[in-house]
Amino acid sequence: MEGGEYSAALWTLGLLLFVISFILIFIIHTFGKDPLKLKEED
């Protein structure tokens, strides 16, 4: 069934984007907090 394969591909891409977005948010929070603390201390 082409429809089922197409749906599975869409779900896979959506899940990948969802995971990548969480990873990017985690990275931004991890690297974003330290510079802010350093600026506040200065």
Per residue in 3-42, pLDDT (tens digit) is: 788 899 999 999 999 999 999 999 998 888 765 565 655 5
- Burial of 7 (C-beta count, 10 Å sphere; 0-12/13-18/19+): exposed
Which phi and psi angles does 40 have, rounded to 5°? -65, -35
* Per-residue model confidence (pLDDT) at position 33: 72
Take residue 25 and report the two structure tokens written for it: 């948010």
Q: What is the pLDDT of residue 5?
A: 87
pLDDT of residue 17: 98
Query: CA 42 to CA 29: how far, in whole Å?
Result: 20
- DSSP code for 42: -
3-state secondary structure of 1: coil
Does the pTM surpass 0.85? The reply is no
pLDDT value of position 41: 56
